[in-house]
Amino acid sequence: MKPNALLVVGGLALLGIGTLVVASAAMGTDDDDGDVKAVVRAYPSSAPVASRLVKLARTLGARPAWIANVIQFESRWNPQAVNQRVEAQAPGTGASGLVQFTTGTAAQLGTSLAKIRAMGMVEQFGLVERYFLLDRIPKPLATQADVFMAVFYPRAIGRGPDWLLGSDRGLEYVAKLQADNPGIKTPADYTRKALASARMG
């Protein structure tokens, strides 16, 4: 094969460089398999969706570990997890599911908290994928903190680790956010707390 000659085999474009043939369309497969195994080792409950998680991370420009870590913190991989603090105050309104969907986010995704609570892992992960692909989530998600904030407070992305969460919506909202999430006032607070339960670096 001539240097830099293009060859199509089985629908894949292969680039010949001297005697070396590189299957560019297939590159990353081994990395993906390795990442899937790493996620499942760290979080065995992720097994039914680990392959999809890795693909989602690639789409977002994030590391699979970052997505896995935020799910671990928010729900411990329990699709029926509910924010009991809010639920006790207003039944049916506590954030729910793998990434703790709120009432408003559920509606934006065309569903409800009641339906989310009835979903299993595989079905609910479809909502996780759709959530991260919403236009209001900036891309790429270039750091673990970005991924954490994408779930907790997307408006905080790019504002720095010490920005007061909710301050863009007024002090009353800041107080509510802190009451619902004790100990979390800034992106740095969330990141520290979340990383304490993380099993992946």
Residue 7 lies in a domain: no
Contact 52, 129 (CB under 8 A): yes
**Is pLDDT above 90 for 15?**
no
Residue 146 lies in a domain: yes
Q: Determine whether 187 is exposed, middle or buried from the number of CB atoms within 10 Å of its CB (0-12, 13-18, 19+).
A: buried
The pair of structure tokens assigned to 1 is: 């094969």
Closest to 153 measured CA to CA, from 130, 129, 119, 178? 178
Question: At residue 6, does pLDDT exceed 50?
Answer: no
Q: Number of structural domains, the chain?
A: 1
Confidence grade of residue 85 (pLDDT, cut at 50, 70, 90): confident
pLDDT score recorded for residue 30: 77
Q: Does 143 fall in a domain?
A: yes
Residue 59 lies in a domain: yes
Confidence of residue 68 (pLDDT cuts 50, 70, 90): very high
Q: Confirm if 35 and 42 have CB atoms less than 8 A apart.
A: no
CA dist., res. 59 & res. 46, Å (int): 19
Q: What's the CA gap between 196 and 201, in Å, rounded?
A: 11
Reported as a pLDDT band with limits 50, 70 and 90, residue 29 is: low
What CATH number does the domain containing 158 carry? 1.10.530
pLDDT in tens, 153-193: 999 999 999 999 999 999 999 999 998 899 999 999 999 99
Q: Does residue 174 contact residue 167 with C-beta atoms inside 8 Å?
A: yes
Give per-residue pLDDT as tens, 99-135.
999 999 999 999 999 999 999 999 999 999 999 999 9
Tell me whether residue 2 is in a domain: no
∠ CA 118-103-115 to the nearest 5 degrees? 15
pLDDT on residue 13: 37
Could you list the residue range(s) of the whole structural domain that residue 59 is in? 30-195
28 pLDDT more than 90: no
pLDDT of residue 2: 41
Query: Does some domain include residue 12?
Result: no
Q: What is the pLDDT of residue 163?
A: 98
Judge whether 22 lies within some domain. no
User: Does residue 1 lie within any of the structural domains?
Assistant: no
Closest CA to 125 of 67, 164, 179: 67
